[in-house]
């Protein structure tokens, strides 16, 4: 056809009546690679209506049947891992092996969700009245978990498939319908993932995927009266969405400035390996990336040397070649990162490598002796640049971590488990990892941020529960 990927509504692939498209720029070549439909508000209205109707029937579909369809979709996702990974390589410059891993991890997530769903939705509670003062045993209360209705899922560019299914699968197993708005970079990978759900045979209208410009359909979707819940992962936009959304449950996972605190008794080789993996995987474009290292002065030189040696081994280049460091997602992102680097340079940070950039490709950079007047001490680069702040007490490290607006994850390296637990308790973050880099997975672990890092908790079990509501029926005995 005209080379514009169609959007998905009423169980069919459609062209938008707008006649317009949105280009997807390959971060490596900085040339348009794919095009998707620029959908209109009318098209959104139509698929919302259908989502509402389809959901009513779906909620009555037996739980085991819903699970069966999800298992089919999971198997299809794994079968389609090659074309999905190819899209991720071209749209978001994800290294080829990580791209394939994302597709497989997504299939596993969907299966696990189906299994977890049949267990936790397959049981409810039974309460009796005479435990509360003044009551006889004349009331029996039955509880069940019922779906919320239409769930709007908005995943970010860095995991357009995995962070889409982490919303879609819990929503569907719980009896909800789904409207997916994929990120522009990653939209075609997401459409391919939706194709797997299509092939699995879900009822028409239950799942739709709408593409287009945020300026045209962004607020229209998030403020749509038919949306009963929003599950969003991304940056600051999430704060704006939560301010505008109506009285509906929100699941938000936003930015982070995950700190890595290194004590003087830490295993420095282990710490260095985790700092490099945590700081530079997917070129630092993960909300759970290590974004600031807070190291005790007494071991700082030794640690920085070890990290430097590992950074020197990172390969820099094309995602097609499975390079460790690949071009960041957009030119504006690269410019933002460069702004942080320039600010740190002006204010006297120590550059452990020379700063180098070609197009959107930024070479990995470790900045030592960063101080709190530098922007990089507080802001999230979402790129391969990692600041090191030297501390003279653990309290100083905890203080820096807690002074951040963000509170996603953090990590601490020490051989003293009691100290580690006390530090974990003191860190105002949703998760603290002891002796490992921050990470969301395994995908059934709870995942949540404090402060500006989010609302609610994710992870398979928590997401299923969050996308349901408790319904009670009380039997009154004579
Ligand atoms: O940036 C998205 C966030 O969910 C990170 O996931 O698996 O890289 O820890 P992960």
Relative to the CA of 163, which ligand 1 atom is closest? 4
According to the model, what pLDDT value does residue 153 have?
98
Q: How remote is the CA of residue 286 from the centroid of ligand 1, in Å? A: 5
Q: Is 297 a catalytic residue?
A: no
CA atoms of 5 and 318, how far apart (whole Å): 25
CA atoms of 206 and 356, how far apart (whole Å): 48
Task: Check if 266 has its Cβ closer than 6 Å to any atom of ligand 1.
Answer: no
Beta strands in 104-220 (DSSP E): 126-128, 139-147, 150-154, 177-180, 207-209
253, 338, 354, 358: the active-site residue: 253
According to the model, what pLDDT value does residue 2 have?
79
CA atoms of 389 and 397, how far apart (whole Å): 9
Contact 397, 259 (CB under 8 A): yes
Name the residue at shortest CA distance from atom 4 of ligand 1: 440
Task: Check if 105 has its Cβ closer than 6 Å to any atom of ligand 1.
Answer: no
ipTM, 2 dp: 0.90
Task: Check if 9 has its Cβ closer than 6 Å to any atom of ligand 1.
Answer: no
Beta sheet of 32-37, edge-to-edge order: 4-5, 32-37, 21-25
CA atoms of 300 and 396, how far apart (whole Å): 15
Contact 8, 209 (CB under 8 A): yes
Q: 21: which strand partners?
A: 37
Residue to probe by mutation, ligand 1, list 287, 430, 458, most atoms within 8 Å of CB? 287
Residue to probe by mutation, ligand 1, list 286, 289, 448, 463, most atoms within 8 Å of CB? 286
Q: How remote is the CA of residue 440 from the centroid of ligand 1, in Å? A: 5
According to the model, what pLDDT value does residue 1 have?
61
Beta sheet of 126-128, edge-to-edge order: 126-128, 139-147, 468-476
Tens of pLDDT along the chain (478 residues) come to: 679 999 999 999 999 999 999 999 999 999 999 999 999 999 999 999 999 999 999 999 999 999 999 999 999 999 999 999 999 999 999 999 999 999 999 999 999 999 999 999 999 999 999 999 999 999 999 999 999 999 999 999 999 999 999 999 999 999 999 999 999 999 999 999 999 999 999 999 999 999 999 999 999 999 999 999 999 999 999 999 999 999 999 999 999 999 999 999 999 999 999 999 999 999 999 999 999 999 999 999 999 999 999 999 999 999 999 999 999 999 999 999 999 999 999 999 999 999 999 999 999 999 999 999 999 999 999 999 999 999 999 999 999 999 999 999 999 999 999 999 999 999 999 999 999 999 999 999 999 999 999 999 999 999 999 999 999 999 999 9
Q: How remote is the CA of residue 287 from the centroid of ligand 1, in Å? A: 6
Contact 360, 331 (CB under 8 A): yes
Q: How remote is the CA of residue 447 from the centroid of ligand 1, in Å? A: 10
Q: How remote is the CA of residue 391 from the centroid of ligand 1, in Å? A: 27
Task: Check if 288 has its Cβ closer than 6 Å to any atom of ligand 1.
Answer: yes
Relative to the CA of 286, which ligand 1 atom is closest? 1
Task: Check if 158 has its Cβ closer than 6 Å to any atom of ligand 1.
Answer: yes
């Amino acid at each position: 056809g005209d080379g514009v990927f169609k959007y998905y509504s009423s169980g069919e692939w459609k062209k938008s009546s707008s006649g317009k498209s949105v280009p997807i720029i390959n971060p490596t070549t900085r040339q348009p690679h794919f095009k998707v439909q620029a959908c209109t508000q009318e098209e959104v209205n139509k698929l919302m209506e259908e989502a509402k109707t389809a959901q009513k029937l779906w909620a009555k579909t037996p739980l085991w049947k819903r699970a069966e369809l999800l298992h089919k979709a999971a198997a299809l996702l794994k079968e389609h891992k090659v074309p999905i990974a190819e899209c991720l390589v071209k749209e978001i410059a994800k290294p080829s092996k990580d791209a394939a891993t994302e597709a497989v991890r997504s299939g596993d997530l969907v299966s696990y969700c189906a299994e977890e769903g049949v267990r936790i939705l397959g049981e409810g509670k039974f309460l009796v009245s005479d435990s509360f003062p003044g009551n006889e045993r004349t009331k029996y209360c039955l509880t069940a978990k019922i779906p919320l209705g239409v769930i709007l899922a908005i995943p970010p560019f860095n995991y357009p498939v995995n962070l889409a299914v982490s919303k879609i699968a819990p929503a569907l197993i719980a009896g909800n319908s789904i409207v997916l708005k994929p990120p522009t970079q990653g939209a075609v990978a997401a459409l391919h993932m939706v194709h797997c759900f299509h092939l699995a045979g879900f009822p028409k209208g239950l799942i739709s995927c709408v593409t287009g410009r945020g300026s045209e359909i962004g607020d229209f979707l998030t403020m749509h009266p038919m949306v009963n819940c929003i599950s969003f992962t991304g940056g600051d936009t999430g704060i704006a969405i939560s301010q505008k959304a109506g009285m509906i449950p929100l699941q938000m996972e936003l930015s982070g400035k995950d700190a890595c605190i290194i004590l003087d008794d830490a295993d420095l080789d282990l710490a260095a390996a985790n700092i490099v993996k945590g700081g530079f995987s997917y070129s630092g474009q993960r909300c759970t990336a290590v974004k600031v290292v807070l190291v005790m002065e007494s071991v700082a030189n030794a640690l920085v040397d070890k990290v430097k040696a590992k950074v020197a081994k990172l390969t820099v280049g094309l995602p097609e070649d499975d390079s460790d460091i690949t071009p960041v997602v957009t030119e504006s992102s690269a410019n933002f990162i460069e702004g942080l680097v320039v600010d740190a340079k002006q204010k006297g940070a120590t550059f452990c490598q020379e700063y180098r950039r070609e197009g959107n490709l930024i070479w990995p950079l470790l900045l030592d002796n960063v101080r709190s007047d530098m922007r990089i001490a507080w802001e999230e680069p979402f790129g391969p640049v990692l600041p090191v702040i030297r501390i003279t007490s653990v309290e100083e490290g905890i203080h820096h971590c807690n002074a951040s607006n963000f509170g996603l994850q953090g990590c601490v390296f020490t051989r003293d488990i009691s100290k580690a637990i006390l530090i974990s308790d003191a860190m105002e973050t949703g998760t603290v990892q002891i002796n490992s880099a921050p990470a969301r997975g395994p995908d059934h672990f709870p995942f949540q941020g404090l402060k500006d890092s989010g609302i609610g908790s994710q992870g398979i079990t928590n997401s299923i529960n969050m996308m349901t509501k408790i319904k009670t029926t009380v039997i009154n005995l004579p």
